[in-house]
Amino acid sequence: MRAGKEKSAGRDKNREFAVIAYGFLAIFLGMIAYLAYFQAARSEAFINNPYNPRLDGFAERIVRGDIKTEDGTLLASTKIAQDGSERRVYPQGRLYAHAVGFADNGKAGLEAAYDFELLRSHTFVLERVVNEIEGKKNQGDTLVTTLDDALQRAAFDALGDRKGAVVVIEPDTGKIRAMVSKPDFDPNTIVTDWDAILASDESDAVLLNRATQGLYPPGSTFKLVTALEYMRERPKNYKSYHYTCTGSITREGYTLHCFGNAVHGEVDLETSLAKSCNSSFANIGLSLNGKDFSETCEELLFNRRLPFDLATSKSRFSLKKDAGESEVMATAIGQGKTLASPLHMALIVCAVQNDGVLMRPYLAERVENSDGGKVERYEPSVCGRFMTEKEAKILRRYMKSVVTEGTASALKDDRYTAAGKTGSAEYGNEKGKSHAWFVGYANAKGSHPLAVSVIVEGGGSGSAVAVPIAKSVFDTYFK
């Protein structure tokens, strides 16, 4: 009897438990279905539509995720106060201002480009269910960038207080390892600083990411493109090219001087590039076919959109049929109407380093959930071919001689082999004002090669001003 009662009580307990368990399971399944619907309904196009009033609704359910460097440095995070209010914080301040961007007062940089990923949560499903029941927000996913903290700091410090930009890329993967633009801003105080930023001098253009959106005359760095075109038009006899530089060249009453009034004497194609002889390159330009030259430039993405996640400006090249000799000469040395962004010039040297193949440049390495679990990984991908393997090989040899016996000799180092091209690009109407450029790469056994593009606005000589910035980046990487 007793045993029977106990049995019956046990059955009641079991039934009670079953009711609770099934009840819970029903709620659980309902929550999962709801979450699945919630996730599915939020298509990328939908969330990225700035006119969509429901976007703010998603931010009400998810705490915007973190942004980090590949080596784990925290770049952006959301702090929640006791009253539940949220604040976006940037622990590195100005250091990553343009690459990371901001998420208040509109969005910019990675905050804009990866808005969807940062407002999506792949937190463990049970945790999400509990959060939903308790009315708590879920933690958004983390964006891990390709940026390297040591390289970013090296580029940032080397550029110092000057206006300009530095881009650092791995040519064999397309990973952006550093991206600096100055003048910069503090993303932590972007809301309070907004009016002052907008009121600043037009030439400051603080919010402009000069690395991707700044357009500058490429100056002598463009001689790489002119040399490439000359090789293409004279594949059999470009090696026998020679010219006697007297320090200047005159056509149609227009005289073009070599930088610093240097007289380079007898030069071939390689020494013309190593010594950056303007007169010789103007002479080369006069021999080129304008239409073919334009086609080569478009193959190298002039007048085209660059394949990149952040906002970019199109570089410009134009050489019309009726262009006069003075314009042709100026164009051949990267002056004239030609304009290029530091990122674009970096991509050109990346392709030279990488046997002519351009890898798609990218800043986002992967997306993780808040526990570090994999959500998405972005792999290196081929973007296209800029030149043949042979052309790339010849340009690499020429660029090496710029370091061994030319204008970038400061990059001679036991730890790595560097190659590149300097530039001092005249701008404005005032004679003698020039931007300092360097584009190039370095490699050493056991590490990825590294390409660097540097511009210092109004910096003067590329050799004296831009090369030391590249050196600082190389020294940090190959230490």
Judge residue 179's burial from the number of C-beta atoms within 10 Å of its C-beta, 0-12 exposed, 13-18 middle, 19 or more buried. Answer: buried
Whether residue 328 contacts residue 286, with contact meaning beta carbons closer than 8 Å, is answered with yes
Judged by CB under 5 A, the number of residues near Zn ion is: 5
Owner of token pair 């307990």 = 13
Which residue is listed with tokens 């990825």?
448
Q: Write out the binding residues for Zn ion, residues 228-247 only, by CB under 5 A.
A: 245
Query: Smallest distance, Å, CB 264 to Zn ion?
Result: 4
279 binds Zn ion (CB under 5 A): yes
Tell me the closest approach of the beta carbon of residue 283 to Zn ion, in angstroms: 10
User: What is the smallest separation between the CB atom of 332 and Zn ion, expressed in angstroms?
Assistant: 13
| Host H or E run for residue 62 | strand 62-63
- Strand segments, DSSP code E, in 363-433 are 364-368, 374-377, 382-385, 417-426
Q: Find the binder of Zn ion among 190, 258, 350, 352 (CB under 5 A).
A: 258
Query: Over the Cα atoms of the chain, what is R_g?
Result: 28
Residue 129 has phi, psi (to 5 degrees) of -65, -45
Least distance to Zn ion, CB of residue 101, Å: 43
- The window from 107-115, 274-282, 362-370, 383-391 that contacts Zn ion (CB under 5 A) reads 274-282
Which residue's CB is nearer to Zn ion, number 284 or number 358? 284
Identified binder of Zn ion from the candidate list 63, 103, 179, 277, rule CB under 5 A: 277
C-alpha–C-alpha distance, residues 396 and 351, integer Å: 10
Nearest approach, Cβ of 406 to Zn ion (angstroms)? 12
Kindly state the smallest distance separating residue 407's Cβ from Zn ion, in Å: 12
Question: Given the rule CB under 5 A, which of 61-69, 155-163, 234-242, 277-285 is the region that contacts Zn ion?
Answer: 277-285
**Residue 243: beta bridge partners?**
267
Element holding 22 (H helix, E strand)? helix 2-41
Q: Looking at beta carbons only, is 277 or 346 nearer to Zn ion?
A: 277
Say whether residue 283 binds Zn ion (CB under 5 A): no
Residue (267 or 465) nearer to Zn ion, CB: 267
Does the protein bind Zn ion through residue 284 (CB under 5 A)?
no
Amino acid at position 349, single letter:
V
Contact partners, residue 119, CB within 8 Å, separation at least 6: 47, 55, 58, 59, 62, 64, 65, 140
Identity of the residue, 276 or 296, whose beta carbon is nearer to Zn ion in the bound complex: 276
In the block, tokens 């390409």 appear at 451
Residue 257 beta carbon to Zn ion: minimum distance, rounded to whole angstroms: 8
Chain residues binding Zn ion by CB under 5 A are 245, 258, 264, 277, 279
